[in-house]
Amino acid sequence: MTDDAERAGAVPLASSADSTPQPQSGRTYSGLVKNGDGPNTYTGIVILFGAVVDDYCSPESIQRQFDEGVNAGTPAHGELDGEPILVTRVEAEIMP
């Protein structure tokens, strides 16, 4: 995310989502930003800092593999406030 308008739309609570096929059974995101391309589509935001950056960027990272699958076109299905959602993109933000 690059501007304050997008940041303002972030859902502050973490959300879980599942994808099939999946390298893991689910994924928790640091936040969600509503996309403009559908009524229930979101971008999952992953906040990375410290040693987590190296773990996420490693070739063995299951979380990164999951996120790459979402970005390649396999949406993750989740629930937000009791309603079904699709996570269709993932952005990782590295914090200093």
**pLDDT reported for residue 42:** 95
**pLDDT reported for residue 23:** 52
Cut 0.85: pTM above it: no
- Full pLDDT tens readout for the chain, 96 residues: 344 334 434 443 344 555 555 455 678 899 999 999 988 999 999 999 999 999 999 999 999 999 999 999 999 998 888 899 999 999 999 998
Are the beta carbons of 88 and 42 closer than 8 angstroms? yes
